[in-house]
Amino acid sequence: MKLAQTVLLGLLTGGVYALLASGLTLVFGVMRIINVAQGALLILAALFTFEIWRRTGLDPLLAIVVTTPLMFGIGWLLYRGLLARVRAAPEAMTVLLTFALAIAIEGFMGLIWRNVFRSVTPSYFASSFHVGGLFLPKGLAAGCVTAVVVLGLLYLALTRTWTGRAIRAAAENVQGAQLVGVSVVDVAAVTFAIGIATTGAGGSILSILQPFFPASHYVWISKLLGIIVLGGMGSLPGAVIGALLLGVAENVTSAYVSPRWSLVVFYVVIMVVLLVRPQGIAGSRLREDVAA
């Protein structure tokens, strides 16, 4: 029973992780950028949700309709204002820029919200459903459902709209996409904005699940990197699989070893996967990777 309960909680957590990791893997797939600032933006969105909830009492899961467009706009501005400027530079410079952003955003959050733990606590926050001897925390259940819905909408947007198909085309083959009339710069801006927009919904959901403070973003970027490395960098289905697996692994480690070691699971997964199977579960092996 304990195992069933642990796995259930792991799968629910994994559902949320899938949404959080989707933006990171999407941006990598299209732009070959590891956005180290993804975790910091996630915490920023959670703090926005906190602020909205504190001031208006709006349910954090409804705040998504505010935070998602807000983060989309921030993502678009970051790309147009900063990242687009280093497009021609070596990839290393782009990584360093997102690293710098992560640090600066952490500093910004520290100044505005101070370095204290925050959490959003709506009325259902501490209660649970009970189903056949298993308990389902209401916050986690609602968060997981919301995450799945948002992820589904993202999937529809990527497969059913022209912009979505352009994004996938650019991920597949940049030159080919250009040949059929896709402006790769515009697609990159939209992709980055969508990638950051997922932190809006993700941050709002996160805000009711765990307490957070500015420096939590290191924990989150580590988790997200573990997920997309396991799933295969750039693959959306891979991110979902990786998220579910690691959600379960994290909860099992917490329950059977110690919560203090649960984060180590992610680090170990990163090391082992990159050593044994660098392309992850669902990733494709890049031609440039094989020569090394």
Partner 1 sequence: MTPAGAAVAERAGGRSGVPRWLRPAVITAGVLVLVLAPLGFTENTYIQTVLILTLLLVVSSSGWNIISGFAGYVSLGQGAFIGVGAYTVGILSRHTDVSPFVLAPLGGVAAAALAAVLGLVAMRARGHAFVIITIAFLFLMQTLALNLQSITGGSAGITLPLPTWSRDIGELPFYYAMLALAVLSVALAAWIRRSKLGAGLLAIREDEGKATAIGIRTPAYKLIGFVVSAVLIGIAGGIDGYFLTFIDPRGMFDILISVQIVLAALLGGRGTIWGPVLGAFLLQPLSEVVNNYFGTRLGIRLLVFGGLLALVVMLMPAGIIPTIRTAVRRWRERGSVVPFIEQPVRRAKPAAAAPPEEPAVPALAVRVSDREPVAERPPLLEIQGLSKRFGGLTALDGCSFSVREGTITGLIGPNGSGKTTVFNLVTGIVPGAGGQVRFDSRRIDQLRPWERPALGIGRTFQITRLFKQLTVLENVVAPLSHFSLRHLASGGTSGAEAARARELLDLVGLGAFGDRTAGTLSFGQQKLVELAQVLMLEPKLIMLDEPAGGVNPSLIEHLADLIRQLNRDGISFLVVEHNMPLVLQLCDPVVVLAAGRCIAQGPPQAIQRDPEVLGAYLGGDGSATQGLPEGSGAPQGGAPVGRGGPGNPRGVPR
- Cβ neighbour number for residue 233 with a 10 Å cutoff: 25
Among residues 55, 52, 56, 82, which one has the least CA distance to residue 196?
82
When the beta carbons of 158 and 230 are compared against partner 1, the nearer one is: 230
Is position 57 an interface residue for partner 1 (rule: CB under 8 A)? no
Q: Which residues 6+ apart lie within 8 Å of 251 measured at CB?
A: 6, 7, 9, 10, 13, 262
Among 66, 82, 174, 252, binds partner 1 (CB under 8 A): 82
Q: What pairs with residue 128 in β-bridges?
A: 137
Among residues 101, 109, 100, 94, which one has the least CA distance to residue 27?
94
When the beta carbons of 30 and 150 are compared against partner 1, the nearer one is: 30
Among residues 245, 250, 220, which one has the least CA distance to residue 232?
245
Among 107, 152, 176, 211, binds partner 1 (CB under 8 A): 107
Taking contact as CB under 8 A, which single stretch among the options 59-67, 176-184, 190-198, 282-290 is the one that binds partner 1?
282-290
When the beta carbons of 29 and 122 are compared against partner 1, the nearer one is: 29
When the beta carbons of 204 and 262 are compared against partner 1, the nearer one is: 262
Among residues 33, 39, 5, which one has the least CA distance to residue 226?
39
Is position 256 an interface residue for partner 1 (rule: CB under 8 A)? no
Cα separation, 236 vs 155, in Å, equals 9
Is position 275 an interface residue for partner 1 (rule: CB under 8 A)? yes
> Which uninterrupted H or E stretch holds 130?
strand 128-131
Note whether 195 and 23 are within 8 A (CB): yes
Among 64, 71, 74, 102, binds partner 1 (CB under 8 A): 102
Q: Which residues 6+ apart lie within 8 Å of 152 measured at CB?
A: none
Is position 105 an interface residue for partner 1 (rule: CB under 8 A)? yes
Is position 90 an interface residue for partner 1 (rule: CB under 8 A)? yes
Cα separation, 7 vs 22, in Å, equals 22
When the beta carbons of 163 and 222 are compared against partner 1, the nearer one is: 222
Contact pattern from residue 12 through residue 51 relative to partner 1, giving x for each residue in contact according to CB under 8 A and a dash for the rest: ----------------x---x-x-x---------------
Tokens of residue 134, six digits:
């298993």
Residues near partner 1 (CB under 8 A) are 28, 32, 34, 36, 82, 85-86, 89-93, 95-97, 99-111, 115, 214, 218-219, 221-222, 225-226, 229, 233, 260-261, 263-264, 266-268, 270-271, 274-275, 278, 286-292
